Amino acid sequence: MEYFDLHEDVAEGFWCLGHPLDLQGRELDDPWQFTGGEPAHFKDPIRLPLDLEGESRDYSHAAFGTPVINARLAALFQELAPNDVELIPVKVDSHAGPYFILNALRTIPCVDIEASEEAYFWTEEDEVPEKLGTLRSIYGMRIDPSKVGDAKVFRPSEWDVVLIVSEDIKEAMERAGITGAVFESVSGPPTFDPVRRAETKRRGELWDQARRARAAVWRELGTMSDDFYIPPVVGGPWPGERQWWEAMRRPDGGMLIVTDGLSDPFNDILDRPTAGFGLELAIETPEPLGEVWKSWPVQLLERVAYEVAEFERLRATLSKGTLSMEVHGVGLPETLITPEGRVAVLIGMETDSLPARFTLPGGEVRLLTVKVLMPAELAWFLRQERGAAAELIRRFNEAGEGHLSRSWRQPVVS
């Protein structure tokens, strides 16, 4: 019997399901309960809002990796694996349904570390004692089928973020033409190249050195929590080809969000540590944000970081001082959007409350603030000649705003 990691086919044009709610519209206290490989403790009907309208599919993921299936697929699981799953009714906004959360009821210790391509574990240096010795990440995962027994749907206890199905379930879903599902083999012989594996291991060691050094800096700046988790993105123009962010509660109650990877070592340099672009970006706001990963400062920082990573000329300008730039304003607060549909920021404003620089094994890194501008401030800025940025900074400090970003405030210029 072969086994497969079942996950969602992410593509444009399809719906995006949000945070599980009860029927009164309140967020569930434990949104991870449907991905832990055990019976869920909330069994009342659940509502799923649409974060993004689009075409529905038979298999989807809501927030927190929660599997959601329609009645046709639910019947298939009931027939082939009745003892391995529970089906929890959900109401999807503006869609008739019925739909169900597919909750796997079993966890099995079956990950084969040696046969997997890459595996990284939490260490004492990470300073997360409750996770010490457990898997932090794994790539090219393989399981040991001899440990699975009769299970057809389960989660590996060492890495329960993945949902595993047996070969007969995969084939039944394919025969039925189920949409939205992708299968990745987790059994069979390893497929990695030993040379590539050694390179990947070295790359991971260099990345870990940088990550741990940055984490020590972030912990000094505020309180970090799983509640502030921001999903990473694989790929893109960052030095390590992955985009990470961190968020922390500041001593005064505000929220600081930082990029966590613009100073990653370059993927193609393995003989020594490097510090990537030698910078990270930070945006701080005193405003309450609710779910941090959905908040406007995170969206804004993502867009600014992409531009900085993509264009060397922007990084060259930043090496000489401050930089003003604009990004598209879709989904950002209307109070910040210019008539052209853009949002402007000033990058590199100095502040005494954040370190201007810190050191990684690969070299020195600058921490550059990102301050959002009101449309009137951008209009004023564009009318000026030299010295406009310095004058704006002087007025921000004079008004007591400093580097902080808000979705609305009185402009400091007119």
pLDDT single digits (tens) 204-241:
899 999 999 999 999 999 999 988 988 888 778 999 98
In a domain, 404, yes or no: no
- Regarding whether 281 and 378 lie in a shared domain, the answer is yes
Helix axes 388-398, 375-383, angle to 10 degrees: 140
- Regarding whether 219 and 168 lie in a shared domain, the answer is no
What secondary structure does DSSP assign to 199-242, as a single string?
A: HHHHHHHHHHHHHHHHHHHHHHHSB--GGG----EE-SSSTTSE
Cis ω before 98 (30° cut-off from 0):
yes
Instruction: Specify the pLDDT at position 124.
Output: 80
Tell me which residue range forms the domain holding 35: 3-110+155-185
Pairing of strands 107-108, 153-156: parallel
Arithmetic mean of pLDDT, 359-371: 98
In a domain, 148, yes or no: no
- pLDDT bin (cut points 50, 70, 90) of residue 371 is very high
| Residue 341 pLDDT > 90 | yes
Please tell me the total count of domains within the chain: 2
Residue with more model confidence, 191 or 6: 6
- Regarding whether 172 and 213 lie in a shared domain, the answer is no
Residue with more model confidence, 101 or 234: 101
Arithmetic mean of pLDDT, 385-413: 95
Residue type, 247: A
**Cβ partners under 8 Å of residue 310, min gap 6:** 237
Arithmetic mean of pLDDT, 138-166: 94
Share of the chain above pLDDT 90, in %: 70
- Regarding whether 159 and 283 lie in a shared domain, the answer is no
- Regarding whether 365 and 255 lie in a shared domain, the answer is yes
In a domain, 407, yes or no: no
In a domain, 177, yes or no: yes
- Regarding whether 321 and 172 lie in a shared domain, the answer is no
In a domain, 116, yes or no: no
**Cβ partners under 8 Å of residue 102, min gap 6:** 67, 68, 69, 73, 74, 77, 85, 87, 163
In a domain, 342, yes or no: yes
- Regarding whether 180 and 233 lie in a shared domain, the answer is no
| Residue 330 pLDDT > 90 | no
In a domain, 142, yes or no: no
| Residue 127 pLDDT > 80 | no
- Regarding whether 366 and 313 lie in a shared domain, the answer is yes
Judge contact between 3 and 164, C-beta under 8 A.
yes
Instruction: Specify the pLDDT at position 23.
Output: 84
- Chain position carrying tokens 């672009």: 277
Q: How far apart are CA 337 and CA 189, in angstroms?
A: 53
Instruction: Give the closest residue to 366 by CA, choosing from 263, 267, 222.
Output: 263
| Residue 123 pLDDT > 90 | no
The CA-based dihedral angle spanning residues 311, 317, 319, 321, taken in that order and rounded to the nearest 10 degrees = -140
Arithmetic mean of pLDDT, 331-339: 95
| Residue 347 pLDDT > 80 | yes
Exposure pattern of 110-130 as b/e (b: 16+ CB <10 Å)?
bbbeebbbbbeebeeeeeeee
In a domain, 92, yes or no: yes
| Residue 87 pLDDT > 90 | yes
- Three-state DSSP at 115 gives coil
Judge contact between 58 and 73, C-beta under 8 A.
yes
| Residue 12 pLDDT > 80 | no
Residue with more model confidence, 173 or 123: 173
Arithmetic mean of pLDDT, 189-202: 82
- Regarding whether 389 and 297 lie in a shared domain, the answer is yes
Instruction: Specify the pLDDT at position 200.
Output: 82
- Regarding whether 216 and 178 lie in a shared domain, the answer is no
Q: How far apart are CA 239 and CA 113, in angstroms?
A: 27
- Regarding whether 220 and 331 lie in a shared domain, the answer is yes
Arithmetic mean of pLDDT, 65-84: 95
